[in-house]
Structure 1
Amino acid sequence: MADFIAWVLVAVIAAYACGGGTDYGAGFWDLLAGGPERGKGPRALIDHAMAPVWEVNNVWLIFVLVVMWTGFPTMFQAVFEAMWLPLALAAVGLVLRGAGFALRKPTHRLARRRVYGAAFAVSSLLTPFFLGAVLGGIASGRVEVGTIASADAWANPTSVLTGLLAVAAAAFLGAVFLCSDARRFGADDLVGYFRLRALLAFAGIVVLALIALPVTHDDARYVWDGLTGGPGLLLVLLAAVCGLATVVLLVRRSHAWTRHTAAASVALTVCAWGFAQRPYVLPTTLTVADAAGAPATLHWLVIVTGIAIVLVGPALVLLYRLDTLGRLEALTDADTQAAGAAGDDA
């Protein structure tokens, strides 16, 4: 039963990496969109594309935390004791990001919109980096039961590269999804804009992955061995195929499946990491069995998970489907025009 809960945790992390990662990626491109005039079109598209689902995507993060502290309390305590600073910074980023996104659109004063927009955009960059750094610290074996918090736990080579890869993957997902959003919303000038950025983000992922090869070989050997053999290697290869398929589809301007292949590449990478760490939740000191909670707790956690899948799953699938079809909110011409409203100059 503990193994089943562990795979549920990996699956939920993969779901958050895809859903939340897409939102972080949109914020990343919001940060690089330029000034008020130049960036008005891309930012309007980002606002409309994210509005129906950005709060829902955070449900996956809540599920991750619930499964961790309920199913693996020893792991939860060790991670949060050793990594409290990057996790606190990520949490602050989540709050500022949500507040900035929610308050930016209805605000008409230019100065305030800039402040809210900056909070949203900068937090969209920092939050995935710190979350990735935490995963890198865990993968490199720097977190054990009783580990005292220190900068080395999350500011090491593996953590930094994992954080940068998380940012690059989010940027890739965000650009791919926004490219499809621009197409279905009729913002034709933004289709090529985000296609180029998706290709650049993928190139960044490739460069960072090549840099990470020798680093993880020396700094995270157990996970390296898991990723270069067995099911871990197979999933890595499948993730690479999905990533390359996304690039080919973007180059050919065929957007029907780009969202699916891009999300699959990220989800398969997370699953490969799960296979690489097994049977440990904290390599190489704490196994899944040792970290698991009481059998009765795991039993009820399985029941609650099943109930959540039955009750919440169909609603989430419907929401994502409607969003993909563009039926939740239409993008108007006024939102994509470069000219600002008169109140923006106040």
Structure 2
Amino acid sequence: MIPAVNAVSGPSVATLAVAVVLLVTVAGYALFAGADLGGGTWDLLAGGDERGARPREEIDASVTPVWEGNHVWIIFGLVVFWTGFPSAFSAVMVALFVPLALSLLGIVLRGVGFAFRHEAQRPATTRLYGALFAASSLLTPFFLGTAVGAVATGAIPADPSGNLLGAWTSPTAIVTGLLFVATCAYVAGVYLVADCERRGHDDMARYFRLRSLAAGLVTGVLAAINLVLLARSAPYLWAGLTGPALPAVAASVLGGVAALALLPGRRPMLLRGATALAVVGVVAGWGVAQYPWVLPGAVTLAQSAAPEPAQLALFVALGLALLLVFPAFVWLYWLQQHGMLLESHPPPVPAGARAGEDLAERTEPAGTPPRYAADRHRGLEAVVLLVVAGGALRDAVRQLVSGWRRGR
């Protein structure tokens, strides 16, 4: 049971504003980075080299110009969280260290795979990096979803002593993780349908349309299962979703149904808008239903809020970001949507330069194909990054084992 909250200790207007900014950031990450992560899911399901070549070309054309910028949303969100609500941030980072570390590992490995597979020249190396990119695209949303499920069910205490294994491995948290994966795939599929239509690739638009429809149905089923689980594991949240947050939930359902109805047509702007409404409605409903708690049953917005000077400094930083970063994002997305960020073909190589290349190739050690020499350097870079990621994974496993032993 969640204890009652004294109305006198309600959050200030500034604290509410910070909470709204945090929710907007979560919605932005779900829409933009979620589409990138979902693209990795469709990359994984595209098939072998020959069969999956066309879908992967479409995914690359949509994701390549913006994938690095989209993850600015999560950095921005973390800054707002730890600055605006430091005690709640500390509790979440301690209790959910393992799933959050694994999601971060997925982001790192996903970047490694996506960047290096476009540079690798050996087919086997390209497939290796492609598999790394696709698998990591599942890893990140799943573990972020389990973390959100743990927070939503009130499983995070105000002062945790270490990783809480049961918090993020409960049925509700696991289904939330699967729901995040399905939602990312659905959002990505919808965006890819619109992008393929804009490029005039009607056959690929049909390809992603069918898969988006399947992903949308799976997302709806998982959302229904999650609501049933929430009614039992988090009755206070269920009461909020069916009470004050009901308009947002209804808007989300309406947006999801409208997006499914619009998929067979050729109205990309309406389709994307309906999909965005479905995602934003879920985030808004979660925030309203959980109010006034940051960590349900443990810490409220008012209790976790930073001092007023820190909030004012945060608003100054937010204003600068709105002034400097937001226009750059708008410009980036405008260029991407107008096909102005596609990779251009390299200029012709002069004959003299070609002769120099031939001479360099003849100096390669015997038995080493010269055209694959660059792979050695990229492979070394990948090994270094994998060692760093392996260290993070080792720390996560240690925390997991430590938490399991304490729980025995």
Q: Partner residue of 1:256?
A: 269
More RCO (CA 8 Å, sep 6+): 1
Q: Partner residue of 2:349?
A: none
Q: How far 1:331 sits from its partner (Å)?
A: 9.6
Q: Partner residue of 1:104?
A: 117
Q: 1:167 to 1:81 in 2, by over 3 A?
A: same
Q: Partner residue of 1:186?
A: 200
Q: How far 1:134 sits from its partner (Å)?
A: 0.2
Cα separation, 1, equivalents of 2:340 and 2:252: 30
Instruction: Give the TM-score normalised by structure 1.
Output: 0.93
Q: Partner residue of 1:55?
A: 68
Match status 1:233 vs 2:243: no
How do 1:144-159 residues align onto structure 2 when only pairs under 5 Å count?
Answer: 144-147=157-160, 148-159=162-173
Cα separation, 2, equivalents of 1:327 and 1:247: 29
Q: Partner residue of 1:220?
A: 234
Q: 1:113 to 1:330 in 2, by over 3 A?
A: closer
Task: Indicate if the aligned counterparts of 1:246 and 1:261 stay in contact, CA closer than 8 A.
Answer: yes
Unaligned 5+ segments in structure 2 are 1-13, 346-370, 376-408
Q: Partner residue of 2:106?
A: 93
Q: How far 1:314 sits from its partner (Å)?
A: 1.5
Cα separation, 2, equivalents of 1:303 and 1:163: 34
Match status 1:204 vs 2:224: no
Q: Partner residue of 1:340?
A: none
Equivalent of residue 31 in structure 1, options 44, 55, 72: 44
Q: How far 1:181 sits from its partner (Å)?
A: 1.3
Cα separation, 2, equivalents of 1:244 and 1:321: 27
Cα separation, 1, equivalents of 2:300 and 2:344: 49
Q: How far 1:104 sits from its partner (Å)?
A: 0.7
Q: Partner residue of 1:296?
A: 309
Equivalent of residue 329 in structure 1, options 342, 359, 367: 342
Amino acid at match of 1:217: A
Cα separation, 2, equivalents of 1:111 and 1:279: 53
Cα separation, 2, equivalents of 1:204 and 1:288: 34
Match status 1:164 vs 2:184: no
| 2:69 match: secondary structure | helix
Q: Whose radius of gyration is greater, 1 or 2? A: 2
Q: How far 1:12 sits from its partner (Å)?
A: 0.4
Which whole-Å deviations, capped at 9, do the CAs of 1:49-92 have from their partners, x for residues lacking one?
Answer: 10111011001000011111111110111001000000010011
Which whole-Å deviations, capped at 9, do the CAs of 1:236-273 have from their partners, x for residues lacking one?
Answer: 11111111111111123432321222122112211111
Q: Partner residue of 2:291?
A: 278
Q: CA RMSD in A?
A: 1.7
Q: 1:280 to 1:20 in 2, by over 3 A?
A: same
Match status 1:130 vs 2:140: no
Amino acid at match of 1:215: L
Cα separation, 2, equivalents of 1:256 and 1:310: 26
The number of equivalent residue pairs is 334
Match status 1:308 vs 2:321: yes
Equivalent of residue 174 in structure 1, options 188, 209, 217: 188
Equivalent of residue 19 in structure 1, options 32, 47, 59: 32
Amino acid at match of 1:282: L
Cα separation, 1, equivalents of 2:164 and 2:97: 9
Instruction: Give the TM-score normalised by structure 2.
Output: 0.79
Cα separation, 1, equivalents of 2:292 and 2:85: 13
Q: How far 1:117 sits from its partner (Å)?
A: 0.5
Cα separation, 2, equivalents of 1:142 and 1:265: 26
| 1:329 match: secondary structure | coil
Q: Partner residue of 1:335?
A: none
Cα separation, 1, equivalents of 2:290 and 2:227: 17
Cα separation, 1, equivalents of 2:25 and 2:266: 31
Q: Partner residue of 2:23?
A: 10
Q: How far 1:224 sits from its partner (Å)?
A: 1.2
Amino acid at match of 2:134: A
Q: Partner residue of 2:154?
A: 141
Equivalent of residue 130 in structure 2, options 112, 117, 120: 117
Amino acid at match of 1:284: G
| 2:288 match: secondary structure | helix
Which whole-Å deviations, capped at 9, do the CAs of 1:85-118 have from their partners, x for residues lacking one?
Answer: 0001001100000111111112121111111111
Cα separation, 1, equivalents of 2:45 and 2:344: 21
Q: How far 1:330 sits from its partner (Å)?
A: 7.1
Cα separation, 1, equivalents of 2:85 and 2:269: 40
Identity %: 45
Amino acid at match of 1:223: L
Q: 1:330 to 1:182 in 2, by over 3 A?
A: farther
Moved more, 43-52 or 244-253: 244-253
Cα separation, 2, equivalents of 1:213 and 1:139: 12
Task: Indicate if the aligned counterparts of 1:243 and 1:262 stay in contact, CA closer than 8 A.
Answer: yes
| 1:142 match: secondary structure | coil
